[in-house]
Amino acid sequence: MSSIVIVDYGLGNMRSVSKAVQKAGAEVLISHDLEEIRSADGIILPGVGAFHEGMTQLADLSQALIESEGHVPILGICLGMQMMMEFSEEHGLHQGLGLIPGIVRRFSDSPGYKFPHMGWNQITIEKQDDPLFEGIPNQSYVYFVHSYWADTPAEYCITSTDYINTFASSIRRGTAIGVQFHPEKSGECGLAILRNFIGMV
């Protein structure tokens, strides 16, 4: 059975992610230990909250994640995905892990749209051959809670979603993968996506 390490850096819904990954069929370890992260078969970086606080809390764990890219699959969820990018404009300009090119931007205020983007929305699969979405129907519904979105070149966009503007709802470069939605809150579709991630390990 594959061993997945969920990175514990003090922000994020580790318990619900852990339960979902276990249900999807993997052994799970929640850890902030550098060596345990470095020796993982796969890594999940969850997160809720502010970008700068997340990067500050990651501290020396950042280097372990950067070193792991290209060797093991890494899945960033929500804030975890945003921290994989180069920069964020949330409360000033802050540097991310730089695993995936692009910048995190705030949704513009727009009449008729609630803020933050919270609830079920559809994903358009842009990269049909990406293994993370194998067997996932196009226009499936997944669960979002976020106020910022990933502005990344099209070549890194796996799925897109429309809310105020069209944004990358999942991204990839090499073994670094991010999803803006919460697979652990997305029912059977989310579990299927987690199973696909486990299958990459």
Q: Which stretches of the chain are DSSP H helices?
A: 14-24, 34-38, 51-58, 61-68, 79-83, 187-200
State how far the Cα of 152 lies from the Cα of 142, in Å rounded to an integer.
20
- At residue 190, φ and ψ (nearest 5 deg) are -65, -40
Write down the catalytic residue from 69, 157, 184, 189: 184
168 backbone dihedrals φ, ψ, rounded to 5°: -75, 115
145 token code pair: 């809670």
The answer to whether 201 touches 42, Cβ cutoff 8 Å, is yes
Q: Is 32 a catalytic residue?
A: no
Is 182 designated active site? yes
Catalytic residue among 78, 90, 126, 157: 78
Q: Calculate the CA 32 to chain-centre distance.
A: 18
Catalytic pick from 126, 146, 182, 189? Answer: 182
In angstroms, rounded to a whole number, what is the distance separating the alpha carbons of residues 177 and 193? 12
Residue 179: count other Cβ atoms within 10 Å of its Cβ. Answer: 28
Report whether 201 contacts 94 (CB < 8 A): no
- 94 counts as catalytic: no
Indicate which residues carry an active-site annotation.
78, 182, 184
